[in-house]
Structure 1
Amino acid sequence: MSALTVASVTPLTPRMVRVTFTGDGLADIGTWPDQQLKLLFPKPGHSAHVSDSPDAGVWYQAYTAMPEPERPWMRGFTVRSLAGGVLTVDFVLHGDSGPASRWAARARTGDVIGRFGPSRDYARPLGVADLLVFAGDETALPAIASLLALLPPAQRFVAVVEVADPVEEQDVPGVRWVHRSAGDDLVSTVSAIEVPPSAWVWLGGEASAVRALRRHFVGLGVPKKAIEFAGYWRRSLTQDDAPTADDLAEARERIAALSE
């Protein structure tokens, strides 16, 4: 685990803020598609430090052994960019309902949090197909934007992102925006798009929407191994709540996909 120090805070939209960090070891990590990491947010009166061990098992044991009032809140994020020893993470702001959003809304230069990862052990290559499909809500936008930036100019793709309203749109070329304020939703919009079975698909966002879209694409004949998927959040539940049966099934399938 390493510490991250806030270098800058930049509002992107009314509901999203970009935070850049510096910290030991960032320049040595390298980059790959869809980099994931854990960020640790200190509880009042405590620090985000857990353990100096680089071993994931030792580190997690130390984390779970901490008294609950002292244990930092831990949340998963996708790297927006990592270059020159500077890590960029985009945070969705949804009030004080979660520790990450609450922290990001008040973040200032010099603030310190913790990180674990990103780890190349979990790296997955970008799909190879005539058509690539990317779909998600605003929580998946940082990942989708970073993935689109890796595509060669001639690559055909479809990218659909659901956001609250038009002011939440960002300058990401090629994205089709879906606005909840207009009564539209990600699942209906993406399901209406003609996609061949030979496509490669990336899905992220609210867990039930991701599952619905994954079932849709499997029904179209897209092989399961050609669908990358991640439920970033759960409606009416937090990351601290116990996993549901659907969550556990999703985790098993993702683990199985990593071993293929």
Structure 2
Amino acid sequence: MTDVPVALIQVTDVRRITPRMVRVTFAGDGLDAFPTWPDQQLKLLFPRPGQTAPRLPDKGADGDVMRWYEAFLAIPEDERPWMRSYTVRSYDAERHRITVDFVLHAAAEAPEADTAAGPATRWAAKAQRGDTLARYGPSAIYARPLPLDGADWLLLAGDETALPAIGSLVEALPEGARAVAYIEVADAAEEQFFATPADLTVRWVHRNDVAAGNGEALLSAVRDAAFPSSGEAFAWLAGEAGTVRALRRHLVNERGLATTQIDFTGYWRRKLTQDDAPTAEDLAEAQEKIAEARAQAGE
């Protein structure tokens, strides 16, 4: 049994759940004993043009993650799969299926989509049953408790890229838990329903202009929000990296939250892709997250 959590997965169902969100269901090896938890991240590998499945390193690498990744990087760039991070929206333990939600940016269905949209968006816009991707992960070592653990109420804030994680989090909250979510989407057609036993309030923030998705609407909504007057909060933030950093600064500097009361992740960067090198802000954010994880672990 390899320690490298890599396997091919096949599309079994494709459903457009909103005009700009596609829900894709996958089957594949390893999904019969699939570790699962809320806000569960994994990487998907997308084939290059002309490939029917992503090219993976030869089997082996002695089950070592680093050797596998070295072998992955050794694949010629024009044949090496694109790798992107996604959230597992749900897991069907009976049918051994996972679902992943893909945001379709406006450019995905434009005539010039091959250059205007990224590889994951292009793939999702045309996905159909039988298509093959590969997954890397998830690994149970990255499983974390629900953010509400030890807090009186949970604040969630993010854009549409955070919707799958927000959905999995609020649907896992126990009865009686309090949560407030601020979610920025293009317009009312992109709103979703979450089934949860928790006391959940969702504040939808509409951009009403897809091209103006700069995070200002979300940031303004959170700045203007009237938070519960009592009880300790825990904040979960995700979406565009610059917006997430601004939200975090607001919560620390103006709302008085400690950095240990905030879980934050930049899912994407404006004008940059996951293939681009990290910026100085990205590196500083990573160092902060490492420092906070060590502090919480008592190191």
TM range (shorter): over 0.9
Alpha-carbon distance between aligned partners in 1 of 2:87 and 2:243, rounded to the nearest angstrom: 19
- The corresponding residue for 2:198 is none
Q: Mean alpha-carbon deviation: is it higher for 78-87 or for 105-114?
A: 78-87
Percent identity reads 57
Deviation per residue, 1:7-28 (Å, 9 max, x gap): 1000011100000000111121
Q: Mean alpha-carbon deviation: is it higher for 42-51 or for 26-35?
A: 42-51
- The corresponding residue for 2:137 is 117
Instruction: State which of 13, 17, 26 in structure 2 corresponds to 1:21.
Output: 26
- The corresponding residue for 2:164 is 142
2:67 aligned with 1:58, yes or no? Answer: yes
Q: Mean alpha-carbon deviation: is it higher for 196-205 or for 91-100?
A: 196-205
- The corresponding residue for 1:179 is 206
Equivalent AA in structure 2 for residue 62 of structure 1: A
Gaps of 5+ in 1: none
Pick the structure with greater CA Rg.
Answer: 2
Normalised TM-score (structure 1)? 0.94
Per the TM alignment, residue 255 of structure 1 is displaced from its structure 2 partner at its CA by 2.8
Per the TM alignment, residue 236 of structure 1 is displaced from its structure 2 partner at its CA by 1.2
- The corresponding residue for 2:118 is 98
SS in structure 2 at match of 1:50:
coil
Equivalent AA in structure 2 for residue 207 of structure 1: A
2:225 aligned with 1:193, yes or no? Answer: yes
Per the TM alignment, residue 197 of structure 1 is displaced from its structure 2 partner at its CA by 8.0
Equivalent AA in structure 1 for residue 251 of structure 2: F
- The corresponding residue for 1:40 is 45
Contact 2:239 2:268 in 1 (8 A): yes
Alpha-carbon distance between aligned partners in 2 of 1:204 and 1:144, rounded to the nearest angstrom: 9
Contact 2:248 2:264 in 1 (8 A): yes
Alpha-carbon distance between aligned partners in 1 of 2:291 and 2:24, rounded to the nearest angstrom: 33
Alpha-carbon distance between aligned partners in 1 of 2:75 and 2:260, rounded to the nearest angstrom: 38
Deviation per residue, 1:157-200 (Å, 9 max, x gap): 11111000111111226321000017871111012223468211
Superposed, which structure 2 residues align to 1:104-253 within 5 Å? 104-127=124-147, 128=149, 129-172=151-194, 174-181=201-208, 185-195=217-227, 198-219=232-253, 220-253=255-288
Alpha-carbon distance between aligned partners in 2 of 1:83 and 1:4, rounded to the nearest angstrom: 15
Per the TM alignment, residue 33 of structure 1 is displaced from its structure 2 partner at its CA by 2.1
SS in structure 2 at match of 1:154:
coil
Deviation per residue, 1:72-104 (Å, 9 max, x gap): 000000110112211100000011311001000
Alpha-carbon distance between aligned partners in 2 of 1:193 and 1:210, rounded to the nearest angstrom: 16
Contact 2:238 2:244 in 1 (8 A): yes
SS in structure 2 at match of 1:90:
strand
- The corresponding residue for 1:86 is 97
Per the TM alignment, residue 48 of structure 1 is displaced from its structure 2 partner at its CA by 1.2
Contact 1:134 1:201 in 2 (8 A): yes
- The corresponding residue for 2:84 is 75
Alpha-carbon distance between aligned partners in 2 of 1:140 and 1:109, rounded to the nearest angstrom: 25
Equivalent AA in structure 1 for residue 226 of structure 2: E
- RMSD, aligned CA: 1.7
Alpha-carbon distance between aligned partners in 2 of 1:86 and 1:28, rounded to the nearest angstrom: 11
Contact 1:3 1:49 in 2 (8 A): no
Deviation per residue, 1:15-49 (Å, 9 max, x gap): 00000000111121221121000000000123313
SS in structure 2 at match of 1:181:
coil
Aligned length: 260
Distance 1:188 1:197, change over 3 A: farther
Q: Mean alpha-carbon deviation: is it higher for 22-31 or for 132-141?
A: 22-31
Gaps of 5+ in 2: 1-5, 196-200
SS in structure 2 at match of 1:229:
strand
SS in structure 1 at match of 2:172:
coil
Distance 1:99 1:48, change over 3 A: same
